[in-house]
Chains A and B, each alone.
Chain A
Amino acid sequence: MADLLACIQKGDNKELIGICEATELEIACGRPAALQATSVQPEGSQNPASPTSPTASAANELYQLYTILLLAYLIDNDLNSARFLIKRVPLNIRQSFPTKDFQTLVQVTNRLWVRDLQSVYPLLIINDETNGTAEQDGEDTAMNVEGEAPSADQHTWSPAVVPLVKSLAEQIRERSLNLLGRAYESISVSDAAIHLGYGTPSESQEFVTGKGWRVEQNWLFPPAPGAVVDGVGQGSKKEVKDELAHLTAFVTQLGRS
């Protein structure tokens, strides 16, 4: 588990997915008892609630692994893998999980699947009480909307997964904004707020202005497609000439063989 947490710190989501996937199969084969850990207990066995019993620690390890992997899939926008993972986690294991993190992520996955973004954002809010002073910079304050009544959806995320949950909310917001930019010439502030998960129009306006959008009364206008730097270089003239020479040599050689 230590290398999982280290990987989260590093912020490399693809690597995290790779490690988690390998670990899942490794546990299933190398320590199959871990998967059976919470099935029907034979008589006279240790109390499963005891923190030192092998049953409890195996279940705990699985819970962490599955929760982190599910989060990583969602951050990667790989809903397909997320759904299969959920299908794979046996009910008895799920019932033994110490927190509702995994269950909440299942709800997030289902809502993302039907593209009901409006109901996803509230699930990802980081509850202030668990995470004291962490939410003070820039966009994070937007998530903890002031004055918003605590909804029944609100779930308190365990500290270990908070960085991933924050990352997920940011990813969803960025992807939505990207899509809105591609799909709309003009969109109302209230509609945008639904896609971006903001409670008040002013927050949406503030967010999109920072990304190069134009605001006019209640309408938002995305920047023109060419204007946004998307990182695909045209290359200098010399590079293009080099490529051309390279390709010509290649094709000539093919023609000869």
Chain B
Amino acid sequence: MYHSNPSIKLEDLLSSCAGPFSNEKQAKNAWSMLKSAPLAVLTASMRNNADPLSHLDPAGAPILYLAVLNARLRVHNPNYNVLLHAASHFVHTAAWNQLQVAPEFAFYFAQGLAELALNAPSTIPMQQSALTILEPLQYLCAYMGGSRGRFTPVHPILAKFSLLAKHPKAALPCLDIDITEIETHASHLRYQDFLLYHYYGGMIYLQLKNFERALDFFTLTIAAPATVASAIQIEAHRKYILASLLLLGKVPSLPKYTAQPVSRALKNTNTPYDDFAKAYESLNITRLQTEVSKHQDLFNKHKNWGLVTQLMDSLVRRNIQKLTQTYLTLSLSDMAKSVGIDTPQEAERHVLQMIEEGQVYATINHREGGMVYFRDAPNRFDDEETVRRFEREIAEAHVIAKRVEKLDRSLALTKEYQGKVVGGERAGAAGLGGMMAAFNDDEILIDG
């Protein structure tokens, strides 16, 4: 435990912690000193009243720069504009490789930025102050691990503030990279960070209309290992149901590895959504409208009304899609009557939109009296694009398989796993433990 020296001055810190350091011990000492330095020292001005931030260089001493900046972000009534400018300067010029050995400075920085935005002057609306910190968050997320698929505490912050800033696209550079590494010790990650990141990420993909990836993210939230259901998981499940209906027309069952307490809580709490889903799957517009009016206030309260209206609009199109299973050709007026639309012109508008978005393959012939001909999807898998895609997906699957193999091997070597295997044998468990016992008995027989 490094004791902070109460009489240390800012200048002392600046000179002894700037580096470069001749060995790792020196470096670690410097960081300890910085971490335990009193706030009053780190936020002081220099002797000539200059701002230390204008004196320090992120390219030469990024950790020192951040130590000062982090302290400044924590004072009461921080200088909003000056600190934001310093943040931008930092991410544009920092020597990121130096930060990798003391990443906690970067993670405190991200949290400090979040606080700054949340406590911005009241003349600045939340949406605007959230926008101001997106650039540094993007850099932090990418350079502190995001670009390599390593999960960091910055991920959920970037996702949250992209939503608040009404700029969902800003989080994509990190969101689009799958997480393959989670290192809990070095980065002070919490279980909640994982849940929040995937929940916010799902919402972002919903806003960007990438429903497939939104579903992936919500699934990760819901199926995360748990002994107790989190409110985040319950909320994610609601959006999971609605997004599934939009994308697939039905709600797929949750993964088998979903924690029992969680699936129980979901079943008990989200019944209105389950009822809504069943009504939607029946393709009956009247039945759906009944469910919607029953729970309108609830959907509103949960901020899911937008999704619900999208779903109501989509039901007409699902009914049109169903027609393709029965008819080869149909007149626009018959179509309108069949799905409950007022005019053939409106039916035509729907069909046109569906053709544009690839939801149906059909052609309209007006000369023959407004007839629609349903066609098969043109699947030509013999072109260059398909071959390239095929190769790419094989290569990706290969990489993932290797990674899983490595993970499997390293898990088998852990104390916990070995303990379970051996412990199972001692307890005489019927399963794997029993098998191991039998194996050892055979050995003894052979030796004897």
Contacts and interface: CB of A to CB of B under 8 A. Distances in A.
Interface of A: 21, 25-26, 28-33, 35-36, 39-40, 80-81, 84, 87-88, 90, 115, 179, 182-188, 191, 219, 225, 232-235, 243, 247, 250-251, 254
A186 B367 CA distance: 6
Nearest to B208: A80
Contacts of B398: 254
Given A30-B88, A254-B394, 14 more contacts: A26-B135, A28-B128, A29-B135, A30-B89, A182-B363, A183-B356, A184-B365, A185-B365, A185-B373, A186-B366, A186-B367, A187-B366, A232-B384, A235-B384
Contacts of A31: 85
Contacts of A30: 84-85, 88-89, 135
B221 interface: no
A81 B169 contact: yes
A212 to B, nearest CB: 17
Contacts of B183: none
B62 interface: no
B363 to A, nearest CB: 5
A29 B169 contact: no
B366 A234 contact: no
Consensus secondary structure, chain B interface: helix
Nearest to A239: B384
A131 B74 CA distance: 55
Closest 8 CB pairs of A and B: A30-B88, A25-B135, A186-B367, A185-B365, A29-B88, A29-B135, A183-B355, A28-B132
Interface in B111-129: 123-125, 127-128
B167 A84 contact: yes
Contacts of B168: 84
A84 B169 contact: yes
A247 B169 CA distance: 36
Nearest to B397: A254
Contacts of B351: 183
A87 B166 contact: yes
A88 B127 CA distance: 7
A243 B133 CA distance: 48
Given A33-B81, A250-B394, A25 B356 contact: no
Interface string B69-101: 000000000001100110111000000000000
A22 B209 CA distance: 22
B352 A32 contact: no
A172 to B, nearest CB: 13
A109 B349 CA distance: 19
Nearest to A35: B128
5 contacts: A29-B85, A29-B133, A32-B81, A232-B383, A250-B391
Contact of B363 (A115, A183, A232, A250): A183
Interface residue range, chain B: 35 or more
A115 B353 contact: yes
A30 B132 CA distance: 8
Given A28-B134, A32-B80, A88 B169 contact: no
Contacts of B368: 186
B124 A36 contact: yes
Nearest to B402: A257
Nearest to A250: B394
B355 A182 contact: yes
B308 interface: no
B364 A29 contact: no
B383 A183 contact: no
Nearest to A195: B352
Contacts of A234: 382-383
B19 to A, nearest CB: 26
B387 interface: yes
B110 interface: no
Nearest to A179: B356
Given A35-B132, A232-B383, A186 B166 contact: no
B136 interface: yes
Given A21-B169, A233-B384, A235-B384, A90 B81 contact: no
A88 B131 CA distance: 9
A32 B121 CA distance: 12
A250 B373 CA distance: 42
B12 interface: no
Given A90-B125, A179-B355, A26 B88 contact: yes
B347 to A, nearest CB: 13
Contacts of B84: 29-30, 32
Contacts of A235: 384
A183 B134 contact: no
B417 interface: no
Contacts of B385: 232
B384 to A, nearest CB: 6
A183 B352 contact: yes
A254 B402 CA distance: 11
